[in-house]
Structure 1
Amino acid sequence: MTDAVEALLAGVSPPERQADARALAALMARVTDMPPAAWGTMIGFGRYHYRYESGREGEAMRIGFAPRKSELVVYVMGGFPGHEALLARLGKHRAGKSCLYVKRLADIDAGVLEELVGAAWWHMAELYPDQPGLARG
């Protein structure tokens, strides 16, 4: 883990949220087989280059999360087959277009979260197949 990621995690409060953030970082690292990286106040795994029809382009994390004071914000792109069914089984959360809001990891099913993270990871690999380090195998 890099010093920047460790500093982000060490600064999370309250202690219960920090423990959840560390557990989520470990889960995402295990599922993606990628090390965590600091993206400002977020912790991300992998990256991809995007370009909109308008010509705007940039790089973003493939998946990740932000350990906010009031909740964890988990960034996983939806739209893949089975996405809604996984959310229905996840437990207590709120969902946006590409993010989940979770108060405590104890409120959700860790196995379903792991399935969701894995499915979102590979969904991004299908959307951006030319990105390095993501051969399925």
Structure 2
Amino acid sequence: MYELKTKQNDNSVIEFIENVDSPKKREDAFKLLDIFTETTGYEAKMWGPSIIGFGSYHYKYKSGHEGDAPLVGFSPRKAKISLYFAPGDKAQDEQLKDFGKHTTGKACVYINKIADIDVGVLKALINQSVKFLRKTYPEQ
């Protein structure tokens, strides 16, 4: 059976951020930590070796595959900072138009630095994602 690699663990979020190589990326990671914590009301937790997640939900697909994931999160990676939100919908697409300089992947949004984005839009994306996932996967 498939073993999910990205699981919540007790590793220190602060230690992880303090070990980010780039001083600018480290500074942005601390700013994001504050933004995500303040916006969600959840304590930051490490998910796998490099994702800082907030809150969690349990999903189960029709295929039978199930697991746990953070509601939202981010990771200060070497190339870019990855922001993790729920899968996009039309509302999210509209918000991203005003977000600032970014690129999108299958499950995340990539930014170079916080100075490139609108923090108000970031907070709206965080709130939209949490609301969507809480509605889609209500706690049992």
TM-score, structure 1 as length reference: 0.88
Q: Judge conservation of contact 1:36–1:44 (CA < 8 Å) in 2.
A: yes
Q: Judge conservation of contact 2:11–2:46 (CA < 8 Å) in 1.
A: no
Counterpart-to-counterpart distance in 2, 1:7 and 1:71: 19
Q: Judge conservation of contact 1:80–1:119 (CA < 8 Å) in 2.
A: no
Counterpart-to-counterpart distance in 1, 2:79 and 2:105: 16
User: Shift of the alpha carbon at 1:112?
Assistant: 1.0
4+ long deviations beyond 2 Å: 78-81
Q: Does 1:83 align with 2:92?
A: yes
Counterpart-to-counterpart distance in 2, 1:101 and 1:71: 6
1:1-137 equivalence runs, <5 A: 4-40=12-48, 41-130=50-139
* SS at 1:8 equivalent: helix
What amino acid sits opposite 1:37 in the alignment? K
Corresponding residue pairs, total: 130
What amino acid sits opposite 1:23 in the alignment? K
* SS at 2:71 equivalent: strand
Counterpart-to-counterpart distance in 1, 2:90 and 2:56: 22
Counterpart-to-counterpart distance in 1, 2:120 and 2:96: 12
Q: Which moved more, 1:53-62 or 1:79-88?
A: 79-88
**Percent of residue pairs bearing the same amino acid type:** 37
Flag structure 1 segments of 5+ consecutive residues without an equivalent: 132-137
TM-score, structure 2 as length reference: 0.86
What amino acid sits opposite 2:37 in the alignment? A
* SS at 1:70 equivalent: coil
User: Shift of the alpha carbon at 1:120?
Assistant: 1.1
Structural RMSD (CA): 1.5
Counterpart-to-counterpart distance in 2, 1:47 and 1:3: 16
User: Shift of the alpha carbon at 1:63?
Assistant: 0.7
Q: Which moved more, 1:74-83 or 1:3-12?
A: 74-83
